[in-house]
Amino acid sequence: MKIDTTIKAVTAPRSKDAKSTKGQMLASAADPASVSDDVRLTSTSGKLRQFETELADVDVADSGKVEAVRQAIADGSFSVDEEVVAEGLIQESVDNITQQARR
């Protein structure tokens, strides 16, 4: 039996008030004099942009460790501890399930 893993979008039903509000918004949008755009950026957004730029420059890999693993693979001395890998996979799964349950 094949399990379908696709997720289909579900639209929440709208209340009667929401429908009338949408109609009012459409009616007012038809009148160009009542339409205005106003965008305001806070200092927080500027700081966020600065942090994003700084984080983009951070090297996330430990080049010494990467080179040691590369050398161990090349000379055949690299070994995988299956128990540690399995425990890591289980912990990651538990973390993902916990995170999904909080949403």
Range of the domain at 78: 62-103
In a domain, 95, yes or no: yes
pLDDT at residue 73 above 90? Answer: yes
In a domain, 100, yes or no: yes
* pLDDT mean across residues, the chain: 79
In a domain, 92, yes or no: yes
CA atoms within 13 A on the CB side of 41: 6
Q: Which residues of 12-23 are buried (b: 16+ CB within 10 A; e: fewer)?
A: eeeeeeeeeeee
- Angstrom distance (rounded) from CA 37 to CA 33: 12
In a domain, 30, yes or no: no
In a domain, 80, yes or no: yes
Are 6 and 12 in contact, with CB atoms under 8 Å apart? no
pLDDT of residue 59: 79
In a domain, 78, yes or no: yes
Domains identified in the chain, total number: 1
In a domain, 26, yes or no: no
